[in-house]
Structures are given as structure tokens and as C-alpha cells.
Chains A and B, each alone.
Chain A
Amino acid sequence: DADVTQTPRNRITKTGKRIMLECSQTKGHDRMYWYRQDPGLGLRLIYYSFDVKDINKGEISDGYSVSRQAQAKFSLSLESAIPNQTALYFCATRRNTGELFFGEGSRLTVL
């Protein structure tokens, strides 16, 4: 089983719909992250969390919200999806020594 699991892996939705991307981890790490990947832009940080009571905005948090339901779970929501949120989304956890461990990604298409 994967250490960092993202669901769904692929999702097609329409403009204005609410979407939730879920992430769960079995690595026992406190720090969790959401990034989006766009061709030519690399990965950009959306939100990150130190623990269930500590949520922080990243570079591009507008239009997104997150929830840290437990140490192992960190979900990303798009309240009203728009086409320019079409991207590949990655969840990651961070070991105390600094390395990130990524999920397999969630490909979101907003029509």
C-alpha cells in the first residue's frame, strides 16, 4: 500500500461545482502539504499544515481551502471550481529531516 494516498486520481467536473481532493498518510508525519503542478510552472504550494490545529497559506491559496481532520488526513477543497484550476494536484508529507513524500497525484479537469 502507498504511504501517501490521494483520492480521486482523476476527476472531471464543471465550472461552479464544489470539489474535494482527499489525502491520507501512513507515515506518521505531522507536516502535510498540497501542491499543484502545471506544465512549465513546476509545483506551487497551495496550503500546508504542521498539525491539526495549524494551517498555513502557501503561494497560491486563493480559491482553495483545506481541512486537517486528523494527523493522517488532509483534504483540499475547491468551493467553486473554475477552468484555470485544471491541474495535477499533489499531497505530500514531510519527514523531520526535511524530505517530502508525495502521493501519486490527482488530475483535475474543470470544464
Chain B
Amino acid sequence: AQSVAQPEDQVNVAEGNPLTVKCTYSVSGNPYLFWYVQYPNRGLQFLLKYITGDNLVKGSYGFEAEFNKSQTSFHLKKPSALVSDSALYFCAVRAYNTDKLIFGTGTRLQVFP
């Protein structure tokens, strides 16, 4: 069975500092991994994905994520946080041979001025 864990309910970071939002996954076979962001009263927006290839994936708004197969992790990172990055972030996984995208419980990112 597929599953995703986001161990932190909330991450707090000062503006200008680097940020990391953690995600680990469990899936049979090769994973397809995704990050989405949700701003208040909005639907989710796609940030980035890992399908194959380079373990470091770059996405929208300066975000990137690193796929680590041995640790089954796909942490979201940004070198310098902005107040406008404050939102709810979801990690999601899909096994290569299914159409079900399973989401984690979400991590609220708060960036303080």
C-alpha cells in the first residue's frame, strides 16, 4: 500500500533563512512524487515532481526537492524563505503502476518577517 508521512504539522522559519519541509513515503516499486501548495481558501497548486532522473528537482517559486531512495524521502527546500511562502504544503506519492495519488496530512509553513 502507498503512504506518505509529513512528520511536522508546522514549520516556522524567519524570512531570508533556508527552509525544509519533510516528507517520507512508502510505495511498491518506483515512486512518482509530488509537492503541492495550498493558500487560504484556495485549491492546491502543483509545485514540483520527481518521476525519474536527477535526484534534485526544481519547481515553481524557487522551491526544490531532493529525492533520496535509500531514506525514502522527498524533502521540500528553499534557500531563502519569503513571508509570501506561508501556506499549507502537501507531499503526495503515486506508484508507477497505479492512478491513485495519495497525499500526506500537510505541513503548515509560517515565515516570519
Contact = CB atoms under 8 A, between A and B. Distances in A.
Interface of A: 4, 31, 33, 35, 40-45, 48, 50, 56, 58-59, 90, 92, 94, 98-105
Interface string B82-113: 00000000100010000111111110000000
A65 B45 CA distance: 26
Contact of A102 (B34, B41, B44, B102): B44
Interface of B: 6, 9, 32, 34, 36, 41-46, 49, 51, 90, 94, 99-106
A4 B43 contact: yes
Contact of A100 (B42, B44, B51, B104): B44
A40 B103 CA distance: 12
A82 B34 CA distance: 32
Contacts of A98: 32, 34, 49, 51, 94
**B36, B44, B46, B105, most chain A CB atoms within 10 A:** B44
